[in-house]
Amino acid sequence: MAEDFQDKNRELHAEIERLKQRISELETDKNLPSASKMEQQVDVTPIDQADVTLRRLVQRIAMILQAEKIVIMFHDREMGDLKGIPPAFGVDEIHLNAFKVRATHGVSGKVFREGDPIIYQDIEKLEEAREEPFGLMHVKNGVCVPLIIERRDEENRVVEKSTIGVLHAFNKKHNEEFNDEDVRLLERMARNVGSIIANLQMYREIVEEKEELAQTFESLTAGLLLVSTDRRLLQINATARAIFQAPQDSLGKNVEDIVKDTAFLGAIEKSLDGAEPGKVETHLTIGGHERIYESQFASVLGQDGKGIGVVAILADVTEIRNIDRMKSSFVAMASHELRTPLTAIKGFSSTLLDGLDDELFDKADQREFLGIVVGECDRLRRLIDDLLNTSRIEAGESLKPNYTHVDIRTLLDKAQKVQQQATHKHIIKLDIQGELPALIVGDEDKMDQILTNLLNNAIKYSPNGGDIIIHAKAEGESLVIGVKDQGLGIPKDHLLKVFERFHRVNNEDNRKIYGTGLGLFLVKHLVENVHFGKIWAESELNKGSDFIFRIPSNINIEEAKRVTD
C-alpha cells in the first residue's frame, strides 16, 4: 500500500516536472507567447488568426491544468446573462449553448461580480452551484476565475480594468484535485483569453461598422469611387457602377479598365499628384438619355498623413443643367416674343403717323393698320400676363379665381369661332359626345384661357395645317375636354415635361416655332389648382397630339373659394 502510494507520488512528481517543462516550452514558443508577453502581444495578433489562437489556447489550458473541460462564459450586458461561448474544450455545442446563468447567480455570477477565483473539490457542497446547470457538464470539481481585460498606458500601467466574463476548468484528470497553482495559472491564462475575446469583439464591431458603411455607400444616390494610389478601385457603389457600366466585380481592378472618360481619369491623376483638379463634367448616355454628372475629387489621407488614394463623388446635375439651359433659351425667346409685337406696333403706328399729313392712307388701310397694332398689343399683354402669373405661381400664390356658373357649351363654341378666325390652314371642329351639363362651376375667364392656350398650341405646332378637334364629354361627375391636332407630335419622354415651366421640345421642327415654354405650365395650374382637375397629353410623333383635361363639373362654389383663398 505504502509502495503504491510512493509510486503514485513519484509519478505525480514526474508529471509535474513534465508540465513545468511544457510551460516553459510554451512560454518561449513564438506561436503561444508567455502569459505576460501575450498581454502585450494579443493586440497585434492578426485578427483572422485570433479565433484559431483562442481555440489553441483553450486546448492548452486544458492540457496544462489537466482539466477534462474548459468553458468560457461571456457576459451579455443586454440580457444580464453569463453564457458559454465557443471555443470550449471537452464540451459539445449543444451543452455549451445551454450553459448559462444570470450574472447575479451561481458560482459564475459570484466570480464575475466579486472578481475572486473559486476553487472547489466537490460541486455538491457548493451552495451557489445549485443555481447553475453544472449537472449538464457532469462537473465534479473545478476552478473558476474572472475574465479580465486591462487597458494599459505607455508605461504599462493599468488604466482601465473590466471583467467581461469567467473562465471555468472542470474535472481534474486522474481523479486529482485542483490546487492553488492551477488557480494562479488559470488566472494568467484568463487575462490572455480576455484580451483575445476583446480583440475579436472589437474586430466584429469594426466589421459590422464597415458593412454598415459599405451599405450606406452602396445606397447613396450620388456615385462614389475610391481609387488607390496604384490606381486600383477600392470602392465603387451601385450608382457609380451604373454610371460607368462597371461589372459587379470591379473592386481591385485598374480604374482605367472600368472608367473610359479621359477628363475623369485626368482629374484622378491630378488629385493623386496632390493637385486640386476642380470639378469635372461627364456626359453619358444611359438608356438612350443623356445624363450629365458633375464630379468632385478629394485626396484621402491615412492616419499617418500619407495618401491612400482619391475619392470621387459624382452628382447627377442633368436637371439643373436643363433648367439653366431652359432659362437661357427662355431669355432669348422672351426677348424675341417681346420684340416681335413691338416691331409691328412701332412699324404700323409710325407708318400711320408719317402718312397723317399727306393723308396717304384711306380709312380701310388705317383700320387694318390699327387692327394689327391692337392685336399685337394684346399679344404683348398676354405674354406679360404669362410672365407675371408664372412668377406668382412660383412664389406660391394661386391665381385668384372668380367662380361662377359657366355655360360650357357656349364657351367651347366661342373658343372654336375665335381661333378659327386666326387660321386658314386649319379646320377647327367641335365634337361633343352626348349631353354636357348646362352649367358647370368654374372661373369662366380662366377656362377660356385654358382652351385658348391649347388651341393656340395646336395651331402653332401643326405648321402644315390639318384638323383641330375640340372634343368634350360628360363622364359621371366630371367633364372631359380635349384639343386634338394633326401636328408635329411630342416625343414620349417629353409628355410630362411639357407642363414644366420653360420646357420646350428641342428638336429641328420646334426650334423654328417661337414660344416661352410657359403656356402649358400655366394651363396645368389653372386646371389643377383652380379647377381641381387633371391634365395630360397623348401624342404620336409626326401624327399629332391630344391635350386632355378632366375637371369636376359640380364643385361647391363656397368650398372651392375656401380652398383657393
The one among 235, 295, 390, 457 contacting ligand ADP by CB under 6 A: 457
Nearest to 429 by CA among 438, 421, 444, 417: 417
Count the residues of the shown chain that bind ligand ADP, applying the rule CB under 6 A: 20
What are the grid coordinates assigned to 428, written together?
377647327
What is the nearest approach in angstroms of ligand ADP to the Cβ of residue 442? 21
Residue with cell 358647370: 440
Contact 114, 145 (CB under 8 A): no
Question: How many residues are given for the chain?
Answer: 565
Q: Given the rule CB under 6 A, which of 41-49, 182-190, 401-409, 515-523 is the region that contacts ligand ADP? A: 515-523
Q: Which is nearer to ligand ADP, 58 or 520 (CB)?
A: 520
The one among 88, 169, 458, 555 contacting ligand ADP by CB under 6 A: 458
The one among 485, 486, 525, 555 contacting ligand ADP by CB under 6 A: 485
Residue with cell 479621359: 262
Q: Which is nearer to ligand ADP, 183 or 468 (CB)?
A: 468
What is the nearest approach in angstroms of ligand ADP to the Cβ of residue 517? 4
Query: What is the C-alpha to C-alpha distance for residues 23 and 36, in angstroms, rounded to an integer?
Result: 13
Query: What is the C-alpha to C-alpha distance for residues 428 and 117, in angstroms, rounded to an integer?
Result: 101
Query: What is the C-alpha to C-alpha distance for residues 389 and 386, in angstroms, rounded to an integer?
Result: 5
Q: Which is nearer to ligand ADP, 196 or 480 (CB)?
A: 480
Q: Given the rule CB under 6 A, which of 76-84, 105-113, 142-150, 496-504 is the region that contacts ligand ADP? A: 496-504
Instruction: Write the binding mask 520 to 559 for ligand ADP: x where contact by CB under 6 A, - elsewhere.
Output: xx-----------------------x--------------
Contact 68, 95 (CB under 8 A): no
Q: Counting contacts by CB under 6 A, is residue 277 touching ligand ADP?
A: no
Where is 561: in which H helix or E strand? helix 557-564
What is the nearest approach in angstroms of ligand ADP to the Cβ of residue 303? 56
> 291 exposed, middle or buried (CB, 10 Å; 0-12, 13-18, 19+)?
middle
Nearest to 453 by CA among 512, 377, 389: 389
Positions 314 through 343 that interact with ligand ADP (CB under 6 A): none
Exposed e or buried b for every residue in 447-476, given b needs 16+ CB within 10 A?
A: bbbbbbbbbbbbbbbbeeebebbbbbebee
Cα 555 from chain centre: 41
Q: Given the rule CB under 6 A, which of 108-116, 283-291, 305-313, 519-527 is the region that contacts ligand ADP? A: 519-527
75 HSE (CA, 13 A, CB side): 22
Nearest to 150 by CA among 103, 186, 198, 82: 198
Q: Which is nearer to ligand ADP, 123 or 490 (CB)?
A: 490
What is the nearest approach in angstroms of ligand ADP to the Cβ of residue 505? 3
Q: Which is nearer to ligand ADP, 103 or 523 (CB)?
A: 523
3-state helix, strand, coil in the chain (%, to 5): 50, 25, 25
The one among 195, 390, 419, 516 contacting ligand ADP by CB under 6 A: 516
Q: Counting contacts by CB under 6 A, is residue 505 touching ligand ADP?
A: yes
Q: Which is nearer to ligand ADP, 172 or 501 (CB)?
A: 501
Q: Counting contacts by CB under 6 A, is residue 470 touching ligand ADP?
A: no
Q: Which is nearer to ligand ADP, 67 or 520 (CB)?
A: 520
Q: Which is nearer to ligand ADP, 141 or 389 (CB)?
A: 389
Question: Rounded to whole angstroms, what are the CA distances from 70 to 43, 89, 562?
Answer: 23, 5, 79
Q: Which is nearer to ligand ADP, 243 or 505 (CB)?
A: 505
Q: Given the rule CB under 6 A, which of 13-21, 59-67, 153-161, 502-510 is the region that contacts ligand ADP? A: 502-510
The one among 296, 340, 420, 510 contacting ligand ADP by CB under 6 A: 510
Positions 361 through 400 that interact with ligand ADP (CB under 6 A): none
Q: Which is nearer to ligand ADP, 90 or 466 (CB)?
A: 466
Q: Name the maximum alpha-carbon separation found in the chain.
A: 158
Query: What is the C-alpha to C-alpha distance for residues 533 and 550, in angstroms, rounded to an integer?
Result: 5
Q: Which is nearer to ligand ADP, 350 or 391 (CB)?
A: 391
Q: Counting contacts by CB under 6 A, is residue 504 touching ligand ADP?
A: yes
Where does this chain bind ligand ADP (CB under 6 A)? 457-458, 461, 485, 487-488, 490, 498, 503-505, 510, 515-521, 545
